[in-house]
């Protein structure tokens, strides 16, 4: 049973990594990473943008355009990075194609208020659904912890809580994995700031928590295993359903295994001392020394040897009988 569990984890954890490299949706926060060069192109080239967008950007290009919402006390970011916008899939659209027309004036009229947007609303008949699977994303999303019945934030949550439509662009092949992890995790952490509280204990069980956070996407553990190779599920799991099985990741790759074992050994030694460590060695995890090739090869050799020995024995017996009969 345990074995089985580990196996399934391996496949599901190996996949997202591939996916992350191949197809990463640029999710985004104000301090978005630079696109290509080290130095930002400044002032940004906005010639590809809609002329109306350029007007809006006079203010909204300010990197720190934001205010504190008097109702929630949270800082609302209003900045749109012109460089990222012009490279995004929505870059050629006029702002008012999505936003209310009354936003064209400044100060913006109060009644403009909050707007609601839905990706599927526009993308429902999208011929590209086959590629991007908006409908199945919507299904997964509906089961996500953020909007599932009883979720406290469900009302305010939308696609845009995580995905900034001003930045969104498809597949950045070749992006460095570390950057993918940082970008993706920044999205989660922008709301889940409580996790950075030094007194927070939600991930205390996770050894070397910060190292994990720096090199593993939150999604790896907080989404269900998916058979889809091209993207990670949009069903974000609640804490209790999320992966907690170390070996799931730490046996698919010898290097990961090594780290885990080392960590647990240190823990063990510190807690129990040398002798107890030698006797009980709690650091050993199931399957950690497993090597399918070696196992198969060894079992084969052992099998053949047994076969050979049996044959030898039978041969001896037969010749013995022949000898005794002859006598």
Partner 1 sequence: MKGLLRVPSWSRIKPVLVVSLILAFLLAIAYKTLYPLLFKAYVGESTAVLTYANSHELTETEFEQLARDLTEQARYRKASEVVEPDQHPFARQVKLEILMNTPSFVRETEPSHIKYFREAGIRRYEGPKTCLQCHATIQVEHADGTRSRVDTLEDIVNSVHFKFQTDAGGFSTYGYDGRKVNAIGDRRIPVGKIDRACGIPGSFTWTGWAALIEGRPESEDGEPGEIELRSEGCGQCHIGGNYYPATEKMMPIGDVPEQAKAGIDCLICHSSEYDMNQRYVIRDQVGLRWNQDRSLRAALTVGPVSNRNCLNCHQHNMGGDAYLHNVAAQSPGERHPRVMHKGAKRGNPFSPADDVHAAAGIQCTDCHVPEGHKIPRGRFGVDLVANDLPDKDVACEGCHSRAPHNNSKHKALLNGHIARIACETCHIKKLQENNVVLRDWVHPTWNAKEGLYEPTDVYRSGEPGKGFTYLWFNGNGTFLANALGNNPNGSADYNPLMQQIARIQDPEVIAAVRAKAIELKETYPDIDVEAYVRAATDPLSQLSPEMLERREAMIQDNLRAAMNEGESRIYPFKLFNAMMYEDMSNQGPFGAMILPFDYTTYYETGDTRASLVEALKDPILIRMYQTPFKLYMMDEFMAYFGVSGGWTTAYPLADGRLGNVEPHWMRQMGTLMVNHGIQREGRVCRDCHAPDGILDYPALGYEPERAAELADLDLIESVDWEATE
Partner 2 sequence: MRSLYLYAGWVRLWHWLNALLFLILILSGASMHYAGTPWLLDFETAVTLHNTTGILLTLSWIGFVAGNLLTDNGRHYRIRFRGLLDRLFEQSRYYAFGIFQDAPHPFHVSAEMKLNTLQQLSYLGVMYLLMPLLLLSGWSFLFSVYLPETLFGVGTVWIVAMTHLTTSYLLVLFLLVHLYIITTGETVLTNLRAMVTGWHRERGEPQ
Structure tokens at 127: 């011929």
196 interacts with partner 1 by CB under 8 A: no
Buried b (16+ CB within 10 A) or exposed e, 111-145: eeeeeeeebeeeeeeeeeeeebbbeebbebbeebb
**Residue 66 binds partner 1, judged by CB under 8 A:** yes
- Looking only at residues 88 through 117 of this chain, which bind partner 1 when binding is defined by CB under 8 A? 105-107
Chosen residue from 254, 271, 273, 321 binding partner 2 by CB under 8 A: 254
Chain centroid offset of residue 92 CA: 29
Cα distances (angstroms) measured from residue 112 to each of 100, 107, 116: 7, 11, 11
Q: Check the CA dihedral 41-45-49-52 and report its sign.
A: positive
Residues 266-305 that bind partner 2 (CB under 8 A): 266, 269, 274, 277-282, 284, 286-291, 294-295, 298, 301-302, 305
The site partner of 188 among partner 1, partner 2, none (C-beta below 5 to 8 Å per kind) is none
Element housing 3 (H / E): helix 2-22
Q: Which is nearer to partner 1, 76 or 286 (CB)?
A: 76
Tokens linked to 271: 């807690």
Contacts of 291 (CB under 8 A, 6+ apart): none
Query: What is the nearest approach in angstroms of partner 2 to the Cβ of residue 244?
Result: 18
127 binds partner 1 (CB under 8 A): no
Compute the least distance from the CB of residue 313 to partner 2, in Å: 7
Interaction partner, residue 97 (partner 1, partner 2, none; CB < 5-8 Å by kind): none
Start-to-end Cα distance in the chain: 59
Q: Which of 14, 18, 34, 62 binds partner 1 (CB under 8 A)?
A: 62
- Examine residue 314 and tell whether it contacts partner 2 (CB under 8 A): no
User: Of residues 3, 8, 33, 68, which one binds partner 1 by CB under 8 A?
Assistant: 68
Among 68, 108, 271, 316, binds partner 2 (CB under 8 A): 316
The rounded distance, in Å, linking the Cα atoms of 148 and 78 is 28
Residues across the chain: 327
Instruction: Please give the residue ranges that form the binding site for partner 1 (CB under 8 A).
Output: 39-40, 42-43, 58-59, 62-68, 70, 75, 78-79, 105-107, 198
């Amino acid at each position: 049973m345990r074995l089985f569990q580990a196996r399934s984890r391996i496949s599901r954890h190996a996949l997202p990594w591939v996916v992350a490299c191949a197809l990463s949706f640029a999710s985004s926060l104000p301090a978005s990473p630079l696109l290509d060069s080290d130095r930002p192109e400044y002032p940004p080239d906005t010639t590809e943008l809609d002329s109306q967008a350029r007007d809006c950007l006079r203010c909204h290009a300010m990197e720190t355009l934001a205010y504190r919402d008097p109702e929630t006390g949270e800082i609302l970011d209003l900045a749109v990075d012109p460089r990222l916008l012009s490279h995004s899939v929505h870059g050629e659209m006029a702002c008012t194609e999505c936003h209310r027309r009354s936003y064209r004036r400044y100060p913006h009229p109060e009644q403009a208020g909050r707007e609601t947007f839905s990706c599927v609303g526009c993308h429902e008949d999208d011929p590209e659904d086959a590629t991007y699977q908006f409908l199945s994303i919507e299904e997964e999303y509906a089961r996500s912890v953020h909007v599932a019945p009883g979720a406290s934030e469900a009302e305010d949550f939308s696609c845009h809580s995580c995905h900034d439509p001003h930045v969104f662009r498809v597949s950045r092949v070749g992006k460095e994995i570390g950057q993918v992890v940082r970008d993706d995790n920044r999205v989660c952490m922008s709301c889940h700031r409580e996790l950075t509280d030094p007194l927070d204990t939600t991930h205390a069980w996770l050894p070397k928590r910060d190292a994990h956070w720096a090199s593993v996407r939150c999604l790896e553990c907080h989404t269900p295993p998916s058979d889809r190779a091209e993207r990670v599920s949009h069903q974000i799991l609640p804490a209790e359903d999320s992966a907690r099985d170390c070996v799931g990741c730490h046996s698919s790759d010898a290097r990961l295994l090594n780290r885990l074992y080392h960590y647990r050994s240190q823990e063990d030694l510190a807690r129990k001392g040398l002798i107890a460590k030698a006797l009980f060695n709690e650091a050993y995890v199931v399957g950690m020394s497993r090597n399918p090739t070696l196992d198969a090869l060894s079992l084969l050799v052992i099998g053949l040897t047994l076969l050979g020995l049996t044959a030898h024995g039978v041969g001896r017996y037969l010749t013995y009988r022949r000898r005794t009969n002859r006598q």
